[in-house]
A = this chain, B = another copy of it.
């Protein structure tokens, strides 16, 4: 049941984490694990509940604190899809192959990950980032791209 190859994945945080002077505690491990295992867009409470099933001692406050920390260090992305809560996603797995953008249905809230067309996007993004960095003297570290519209189902009724 427990995918054994996860063990490998569990390692790659270690470096980045302790490297920045933070402790890799059980709670933090647990939260990272939950994020690593899920392919959905989890809210803080979602994560809290999942973590809670295995580590009932972990409090919601710690989840919030840890998430903030993870976002700060760049390990996790924080999104706002318009329902009142923030959503979190591991920024990328051991192999940096998870980067993607989002497609959001403004009617039902459905969110679709997509990685198609990224090649061209990446190319342009890099150029744009470079240009913007220079012109506005910003050190750009990240970007957010989301498309909004109506999914097939929600379009199915005038």
Contacts and interface: CB of A to CB of B under 8 A. Distances in A.
Interface of A: 80, 103, 105-106, 112, 114, 116-117, 120-121, 124, 127-129, 131-133, 135-152, 155
Contact of A151 (B105, B137, B143, B155): B137
Contacts of A139: 149-150, 155
A99 to B, nearest CB: 14
A116 B135 contact: yes
Given A139-B149, A144-B146, A120 B124 contact: yes
Per assembly, the copies of the chain total 2
A29 to B, nearest CB: 26
A35 B70 CA distance: 36
Contacts of A148: 140-144
Contacts of A128: 117, 120-121, 147
A72 B152 CA distance: 19
A136 B149 CA distance: 11
Contacts of A149: 133, 138-142
A64 B20 CA distance: 42
Contacts of A141: 106, 148-150
Among A129, A138, A145, the most chain B Cβ lie within 10 Å of the Cβ of A138
Contacts of A112: 136, 138
8 contacts: A114-B132, A114-B136, A117-B128, A120-B128, A129-B147, A132-B147, A142-B148, A144-B146
